Structure 1
Amino acid sequence: MLDAVRYVADNGVKWANVPTSIPPYPRVHAFARRWQVTGRLAELHDRLRGKVREKEGRSPDPTAAIVDSPSVRAAANIPRPTSG
């Protein structure tokens, strides 16, 4: 089941397009949905991130974040001081 979830996430395919070597997609999708609703997918992601960071010799938890907003050209009728 986990391989199927990883396959969909990694390849960006639809659930119906997973290979036949993976269990039927309705069953896998139900598991993935349940894991998402209960927070298990987020927990799995956080644990794996921590393991990768430790393997690289870093702290398991990130200590900083970068927040960036894209620069978008505003319409001509929007005042310059109020646009980003």
Structure 2
Amino acid sequence: MPAGGSVAGAPCCRLSASHRSTERTARHPTDVTDAQWVKLDPLLPDPSCLSGRGGRWEGHCRRLLDALRDRVRLAEGREAAPSAAIVDSQPVRAAETVGRATRGWDGGKKVAGRKRRIVVDTLGLLLAVLVTPASTQDRVAARSLLRRMRDTAGGRVRLVWADGA
């Protein structure tokens, strides 16, 4: 089966009622083949937003990401919930078309735009993401970011590393 497409009018996946299948090439390389995706698809839960129980796609993706992260950590011989995390931020230039309320000036890096902040565990697996105007100070954004991390990773994280720059 082509990446993101279907063969001879067959549905491309269980979610095909909510989108149109298209013939397209994969934009990002992956280690999972189309044959493997055919086997993986029945194992993935249906999003509650498609089964009439409400909910949003974001919640479905977050639960899926959490489950995959737990499996990777267990396969590495670690606890499912991390006990340590790493915080970092990176300014990103924003075009003039980006609203002023979501843009700012990072005086340290001399960048006008936004700042993406992430928290990862010691394996580099994503725990939380926060995007703010670049002018938002790290100490201000840290509260919201660490709150998101706590909601995602549970209360087990006891140590968080952050750089001073």
TM-score range, shorter chain: 0.3 to 0.5
If each structure's helix is expressed as a fraction of its own residues, which one has the higher value?
1
If each structure's strand is expressed as a fraction of its own residues, which one has the higher value?
2
TM-score of the aligned structures, taking structure 1 as reference length: 0.45
